[in-house]
């Protein structure tokens, strides 16, 4: 029997709109430059270091050192990075509905303090949840098995009694390997239908 539902945050409970953010920050810029900036930030796990709790100044410096020619553009990205995040009006409605049905709700998110502080308002739904883990606080990132174990240990979870919802297949696979039921989030109605199916069958 399922008693706990675990949510990723970015692109599940809030929008993480990187592509739109880049278009807004650099309107009309050649796509080759956008692709290069994307690679600077995301390549070789550089962004992952933020989510893993490394010092933001060190991470940003390492990204600029990788591509010093575009230091101005990279500093602009990190100065305005809170603009990647947007609330979803449906999120509190969904969470309240699940709480009314008696489920414990947790979060498990790759998230950095740097981004959190850049736009804290998008996380105003957190009081509706019963707890959770941000990767930056435990210095682990999904899909490392240790982060699922950390959540299970903290909240005395029985994996077979939990459903984990994430937008990334690799994170769902990691959760399933740990023993959680898993749902890959594509859009809200799909995730809700998949969740209700598991809740009825489990």
pLDDT attached to residue 44: 85
pTM of the model: 0.96
For the chain, what percentages of helix, strand and coil (3-state, to nearest 5) are there? Answer: 60, 15, 25
Handedness of CA 137, 142, 148, 149 (dihedral sign): negative
**Contact indicator for 142, 171 with CB cutoff of 8 Å:** yes
Render each residue's pLDDT in the chain as its tens digit; 202 residues.
999 999 999 999 999 999 999 999 999 999 999 999 999 999 989 999 999 999 999 999 999 999 999 999 999 999 999 999 999 999 999 999 999 999 999 999 999 999 999 999 999 999 999 999 999 999 999 999 999 999 999 999 999 999 999 999 999 999 999 999 999 999 999 999 999 999 998 7
State residue 202's pLDDT score.
73
Closest CA to 62 of 80, 79, 82, 48: 48
The reported pLDDT for the residue numbered 201 is 86
List the structure tokens of 101.
């049905």
Are 172 and 164 a contacting pair, CB within 8 Å?
A: yes
Domain ranges of the chain: 4-15+86-201, 17-84
Which residues fall within 8 angstroms of residue 191, CB to CB, at 6 or more apart?
Answer: 12, 165, 183, 185
Query: Which pLDDT score is estimated for 13?
Result: 98
Element (H, E) at 95: helix 90-100
Output the six-digit token pair for 149: 């174990």
Question: Are the beta carbons of 181 and 2 closer than 8 angstroms?
Answer: yes
Q: Which fold has domain 4-15+86-201?
A: Rossmann fold (3.40.50)
């Amino acid at each position: 029997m399922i008693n706990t539902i675990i949510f990723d945050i970015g692109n599940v409970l809030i929008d993480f709109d990187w592509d739109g953010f880049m278009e807004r920050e650099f309107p009309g810029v050649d796509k080759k430059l956008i692709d290069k900036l994307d690679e600077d930030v995301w390549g070789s796990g550089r962004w992952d270091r933020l989510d893993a709790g490394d010092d933001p100044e060190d991470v940003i410096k390492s990204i600029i050192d990788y591509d010093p020619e575009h230091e101005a553009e990279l500093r602009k990205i990190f100065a305005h990075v809170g603009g990647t995040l947007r609330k979803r009006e449906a999120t509190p409605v969904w969470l309240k509905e699940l709480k009314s049905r008696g489920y414990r709700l947790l979060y498990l998110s790759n998230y950095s303090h740097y981004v959190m502080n850049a736009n804290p308002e998008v996380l105003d739904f957190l009081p509706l949840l019963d707890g959770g883990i941000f990767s930056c606080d435990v210095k682990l990132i999904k899909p490392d098995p240790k982060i699922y174990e950390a959540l299970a240990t903290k909240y005395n979870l029985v994996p077979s009694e939990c459903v984990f919802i994430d937008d990334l297949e690799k994170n769902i696979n990691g959760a399933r390997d740990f023993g959680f039921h898993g749902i890959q989030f594509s859009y809200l109605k799909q995730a809700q239908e998949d969740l209700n199916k598991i809740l009825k069958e489990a």
